[in-house]
Amino acid sequence: MQMPRIAALITLIGLASCGPDIEAIPQVSDSMATEMGVEKAQLQRGRDLYMAHCNQCHERVKPAKIDPEYWREILPHMSQNAKLNSAQLQDLQTYLIAAHGTVYQLNLQQ
């Protein structure tokens, strides 16, 4: 009688691993830059800013956990707190939107 339960558990674990990894902090890739229509260097600058600044005031929120429209809404305020300039804000926002889309395998064209 235990075997069906074990098989069901293994199936559930297998299905869960097929979904998006919303805890991911995606590395910048050529395909991410191509999908976004930006230079890879801009995305890397954004990721570097995310890694360096976004845990100074709070726990680092994973890119996939926030909808791109909400990132656009909240980042200007948070970037002021982090003392980022407008170019840095743009790089950060572009990376977070690209990372969100990468996790969910979305079409990233802006």
- pLDDT single digits (tens) 44-90: 999 999 999 988 888 999 999 999 999 999 999 999 999 999 999 99
pLDDT for residue 32 is more than 60: yes
Provide the 3-class DSSP secondary structure of residue 31.
helix
Provide the 3-class DSSP secondary structure of residue 49.
helix
Q: What percent of the chain has pLDDT over 70?
A: 77
Domain segments of the chain: what residues?
A: 23-104
Assign 12 a pLDDT band (cuts: 50, 70, 90): very low
pLDDT tens per residue, range 37-46: 999 999 999 9
Q: What is the residue-averaged pLDDT of the chain?
A: 83
CA distance linking residue 99 with residue 6, whole number of Å: 35
Helix (H) or strand (E) holding 91: helix 86-104
